[in-house]
Amino acid sequence: MKNKYLLVPVLLGLCIILSSWGSTGHRKISNSSSLSFNSQMTDFLAWVTFLTDHSSDADYRKDTDPTEAAKHYIDIDNYSGFLANGTIPQTLDSAYSAYGSAFVMDNGILPWATERTFDSLRNCMQRHDFAKAQIFAADLGHYVGDGHMPLHITKNYDGQLTGNDGIHSRYESTMINGHISEFIYTGTDAEFIPNVNQYIFDYLYANYVYADSVLAADNYAVAQSPTYSSSTYKNALWAKTKGFTVPLFQHASHALAALIYTAWVQAGSPSLINTELVDPTAIGNANFGPCTPNPFGTQAHISFRLKENTKTILQVRDMSGLTVARLINDTLPAGNHTIEWSPASLPTGMYFLVLNTGKCIQVKKIVYEKE
């Protein structure tokens, strides 16, 4: 479904891209995965901060990589086989053979992107390239999170087919941001997964059933109040969805831990002890310098260095993953660069600077405190 990531206009001429769970949800899923690390995974605790901070890198790549968007969804109910018997061909080659590559790509390749990222994670571990392994693990967390967002598994991804237009953002971002503190997960030990392909498809099949539940909850909430911004609507939507949304988050966190553990075991259980853990994004062609002051009041001075002449996109995103400012979208020369940002009417709080050159993505936290 090619229009899944249509740009939607918002205030100030900015725009957002529909993306599962938003930054807040993806950070929660990746961070909570550590609660499912079993006794053999103690050394992976050193990865948790990176997994959390880079849990939305895959979303940010959509700005520069035209192949990325299809990796975040699958309109599984466009497959005749799924409607007939609840399953689809589970290898990419078999799906191409049965339905044609154009159909498969148009309807999203989330399960195969997830499995391919798992394979890359395992292969990096086998050759002890733990810097790159962290990058693939962060991406894996994002795709696993997408697979546990019901509206990313259906052609009716934004309720556009049933009169529930806009439910995607209302459910995944507005509601989640308002209730993220209520997502409690104590964790259960990650297990080895004998068949990764089947495991991925099993949770997609299981999570698809909640798409109708989200729409039904929206209908109920609208009946209580047709004003989406009202507390009555928001509270009603949460009341009707929290019973399955909280478990979806829990299952996503556990699945990420189990997949990391399985990749590690398949790689021969290599030791992470005495492995120098540097930020693996530093191997790219761009790096942030100081952002001063931080926290800041009226204006922030943002610096970064490019190792080569390159197309550069610098954005500011809020905690939900929405772009609130586009600071640079141009080809810049190698060297040091500085730009100033004044948030003006934006609310105080934490934001993320996202520097994207197409070869690497750098993310830096910044805190805005009005003077």
Let me know if residue 148 belongs to a domain.
yes
Give me the pLDDT at residue 10, please.
Answer: 33
Render pLDDT for 46-93 as a digit per residue (tens, 0 to 9).
Answer: 899 999 999 999 999 988 899 999 999 999 999 999 999 999 999 999
Domain hosting residue 292, numbered range: 284-368
> Which pLDDT band, with edges at 50, 70 and 90, does 358 fall under?
confident
Render pLDDT for 185-239 as a digit per residue (tens, 0 to 9).
Answer: 888 999 999 999 999 999 999 999 999 999 999 999 999 999 999 999 999 999 9
Query: Residue ranges of the alpha helices (H) in the chain?
Result: 22-32, 48-53, 57-60, 80-85, 92-99, 101-106, 110-126, 130-147, 167-169, 176-179, 196-208, 210-224, 231-266
DSSP, collapsed to helix, strand or coil, labels residue 42 as helix
Phi and psi dihedrals of 310, rounded to 5? -160, 150
Give the whole-number percent of the chain exceeding pLDDT 70: 91
Render pLDDT for 116-141 as a digit per residue (tens, 0 to 9).
Answer: 999 999 999 999 999 999 999 999 99
Across the range 28-51, mean pLDDT stands at 93
- Residue 151: CB partners within 8 Å, gap ≥ 6? 20, 157, 158, 159, 167, 168, 171, 172, 211, 214
> Which pLDDT band, with edges at 50, 70 and 90, does 107 fall under?
very high
Across the range 363-368, mean pLDDT stands at 86
Do 214 and 303 belong together in one domain? Answer: no
Q: From its phi and psi, is residue 86 left (phi > 0), alpha (psi between -120 and 50) or beta?
A: left
Give the whole-number percent of the chain exceeding pLDDT 90: 73
Give me the pLDDT at residue 93, please.
Answer: 97
Cβ atoms 191, 39 nearer than 8 A:
no
Give me the pLDDT at residue 11, please.
Answer: 30
Render pLDDT for 128-181 as a digit per residue (tens, 0 to 9).
Answer: 999 999 999 999 999 999 999 999 999 999 999 999 999 999 999 999 999 999
Do 240 and 350 belong together in one domain? Answer: no
Instruction: Tell me the C-alpha distance between 138 and 47, whole Å.
Output: 9
Cβ atoms 149, 241 nearer than 8 A:
no
The type of residue at 106 is D
Give me the pLDDT at residue 278, please.
Answer: 53
Across the range 29-37, mean pLDDT stands at 95
> Which pLDDT band, with edges at 50, 70 and 90, does 39 fall under?
very high
Phi and psi dihedrals of 55, rounded to 5? -70, -15
Give me the pLDDT at residue 235, please.
Answer: 96
Closest by CA to 343, choosing from 371, 320, 321, 362, is: 371
Q: pLDDT at residue 18 above 60?
A: no
Domain boundary among the residues 235, 266, 297 is at 266
What rounded mean pLDDT belongs to the chain? 90
Do 81 and 16 belong together in one domain? Answer: yes
Instruction: Tell me the C-alpha distance between 235 and 241, whole Å.
Output: 10
CA angle at residue 51 from 49 to 56, to 5 degrees? 120
Widest Cα–Cα separation across the chain: 61
Q: pLDDT at residue 322 above 80?
A: no
Domain boundary among the residues 239, 266, 293 is at 266
Let me know if residue 279 belongs to a domain.
no
Cβ atoms 225, 232 nearer than 8 A:
yes
Q: Could you give the number of structural domains in the chain? A: 2
Residues forming beta bridges with residue 312, ordered by sequence position:
330
CATH number at residue 353: 2.60.40.3080
Closest by CA to 214, choosing from 3, 17, 2, 20, is: 20
Instruction: Tell me the C-alpha distance between 187 and 317, whole Å.
Output: 30
Let me know if residue 278 belongs to a domain.
no
Do 254 and 342 belong together in one domain? Answer: no
Do 148 and 229 belong together in one domain? Answer: yes
> Which pLDDT band, with edges at 50, 70 and 90, does 44 fall under?
very high
Do 122 and 253 belong together in one domain? Answer: yes
Do 180 and 307 belong together in one domain? Answer: no
Let me know if residue 272 belongs to a domain.
no
0.85 exceeded by the pTM? no
> Which pLDDT band, with edges at 50, 70 and 90, does 17 fall under?
very low
Instruction: Tell me the C-alpha distance between 110 and 146, whole Å.
Output: 8
Do 13 and 159 belong together in one domain? Answer: yes
- Both structure tokens of 107: 């309807």
Let me know if residue 274 belongs to a domain.
no
- Both structure tokens of 87: 């399953």
Do 146 and 13 belong together in one domain? Answer: yes
Give me the pLDDT at residue 231, please.
Answer: 95
Q: What is the DSSP string of 158-219?
A: TSTTTT-TTHHHIIIIIIHHHHGGG-----------S-HHHHHHHHHHHHHTHHHHHHHHHH
Do 195 and 321 belong together in one domain? Answer: no
Do 190 and 50 belong together in one domain? Answer: yes
CATH number at residue 154: 1.10.575.10
Let me know if residue 327 belongs to a domain.
yes
Based on its alpha-carbon atoms, the radius of gyration of the chain, rounded to whole angstroms, reads: 21
Across the range 17-26, mean pLDDT stands at 69
